[in-house]
Structure 1
Amino acid sequence: MEKILVTGANGQLGSELFVLSSNYSQYQWFFADRTKITLDNLDLLKEQLYDINPTIILNCGAYTAVDKAETEKELAEIVNHLAVEVIAKYSARNKVKLIHISTDYVFDGTSSVALDEEALTNPINVYGETKRLGELACLQENPNSIIIRTSWVYSKFGNNFVKTMQRLMQERESISVVNDQIGSPTYAADLAQVLIDIISSSKWIPGIYNYSNEGEISWYEFALTIKEVGGYNCKVGGIPSSAYPTPAKRPSFSLLDKNKIKKVYGVDVPNYKESLKKMLAQL
């Protein structure tokens, strides 16, 4: 029986995989939070991988506090880069299938067309830099691995934009949301299903793939959709990023082109609004 190790088990994607795992009892699932897989302690990490002894690794664990990473650069570097290197080396040496999750923040935001897997990377914040180094380490140490870049992840689990908006729209009469960062959200449950579909597929085609829901929107437009679907009365206004300074710069355009994953794995990508409705119905 294949044994699947899921790192970052308490994160949004790990939690959604846990929900789906009960439908896939042909696999032995091992969900590892930071006590079972310590991504910030590399020596211990090596031991833990050998103890768990998986045949498939879904590396969903990461340092994702984008603004905090600007001051916690060392920790972000260990978790997002060096730990990935350790996992990739282990998986290559032990012939373990590895899917590693990356981000649209590897791009600088200067494109005006959807970014495919060959688009030039040029991260503009520490989080994006460390995630790009993780990608490179993954490809170098285990060329047989699959990397999936995703964007604007949300779920009923954890902290995310959708849940923050829901809370604010119930507490306040009006809110302002940035309207000059363009991309597409990703419902973590959709991505979790894609990961399972790939490992259950009869083929394994290594390389980088993009996945997010369909749609090209700003955070402001996403907030308007949350208001509409959730039936809130709060007034939502759009503001430029310059009016809401953050420690880490965000790419102003990071829409991902999903054609490759559709073609290679026959993935059906839902529209962002449909997925948002599904998620909000669960809350």
Structure 2
Amino acid sequence: MTTDAEQSSDRTIVVTGAGGQLGRRLVDRARDGYRGARVLGFGSADLDITDPESIAAAVVPGTVVINCAAHTAVDAAEAEEDRAALLNEVGPRLLAERCAEVGAGLVHVSTDYVFAGDARTPYEPTDPTAPATAYGRTKLAGERAVLEALPAATIVRTAWVYTGIGSDFVATMLRLEAERETLDVVNDQVGSPTYSGDLADALLEAATSPRALPQILHATNAGTASWFDLARATFEAVGADPDRVHPCGSDRYVRPAPRPAYSVLSPAAWNGAGLTPLRPWRDALTAALAARAVADPPGAAQ
């Protein structure tokens, strides 16, 4: 989504939450600029989205913001919903108000957790929301606050995001493959694994689209999988025996915040808006692991 001011070659894309896995990928993908725009990444120490003065210093006319800043600790949010609301609702509202004030664009990243997670077909952006967790409630409140302050904003919901580096699910499976002979992984939660690199590309495309986009879109890699499926695919991709991964139910790993049993997001609105469809999740996993090998080659000094 772009404004008239953003059509000039000197427009700037501001990425908030640039210290997180998605924000880092966004900045990396656009290190040399993107479609004539320069991309600036701000971590929480550089841009506090709950502080209007901090926002005003970074968000100026001609800017388009991609907001990746959020409280994403799903279990911790159950005990600290007020803190989660500060980052997931108040901050996005302040960003949207500033964007409205100066004529800036805003792409705000949201989540599958705004849904109940009990569907049997992929969720459309227009489907009823019914979050079952504090994280989901605060993210939904953030969506509503953004659109109330800036109706031209674009909300992009995504799910099951990983990079393969650090402590995300794929990275954890790689670590456990080296540590354990077998592994039990839940097979009764279904979603669409989404590589952060692909999602970053998608968000950059949305932020610079010359078309007016729908208020809410869904963006994930194509296809569906359980966590068990993703774990097996990860093992297989690195030459390990996928039969070392065994299925189990969610009752094996009880968490403070219930996980959605089904959180597949439909790409129909995204594709219908003329945006590039995201590739199948297995292809994306292969690409993610190849990028991981380049970033952290075996035997590299620690």
- 2:58 is the counterpart of 1:48: no
In structure 1, what is the Cα distance between the partners aligned to 2:57 and 2:119?
44
Among 151, 157, 161, the alignment partner of 2:159 is 151
TM-score, with structure 1 as normaliser: 0.95
In structure 1, what is the Cα distance between the partners aligned to 2:175 and 2:147?
40
Q: Which residue of 2 aligns with 1:103?
A: 111
- For the Cα contact (< 8 Å) 2:47–2:58, is it kept in 1? no
- 2:146 is the counterpart of 1:138: yes
In structure 1, what is the Cα distance between the partners aligned to 2:64 and 2:215?
16
- 2:119 is the counterpart of 1:83: no
Q: How many residues align?
A: 279
Q: Secondary structure at the match of 1:78?
A: helix
Counterpart mapping for 1:1-283 below 5 A:
1-24=10-33, 26-39=36-49, 42=50, 45-54=51-60, 55-233=63-241, 235-283=244-292
In structure 2, what is the Cα distance between the partners aligned to 1:239 and 1:142?
44
- For the Cα contact (< 8 Å) 2:164–2:288, is it kept in 1? yes
TM-score, with structure 2 as normaliser: 0.89
Q: Which runs of 4+ in 1 moved over 6 A?
A: none
- For the Cα contact (< 8 Å) 1:210–1:258, is it kept in 2? yes
Q: Secondary structure at the match of 2:273?
A: helix
Q: Secondary structure at the match of 1:67?
A: helix
Q: Secondary structure at the match of 1:247?
A: coil
Quote the offset at 1:265 in angstroms: 2.5
Q: Secondary structure at the match of 2:74?
A: coil
Quote the offset at 1:157 in angstroms: 4.5
- For the Cα contact (< 8 Å) 2:33–2:39, is it kept in 1? no
What is the aligned-residue RMSD (CA, Å)? 1.3
- For the Cα contact (< 8 Å) 1:169–1:233, is it kept in 2? no
Tell me the amino acid that sits aligned with residue 81 of structure 2: K
Percent identical residues: 35
Quote the offset at 1:228 in angstroms: 0.8
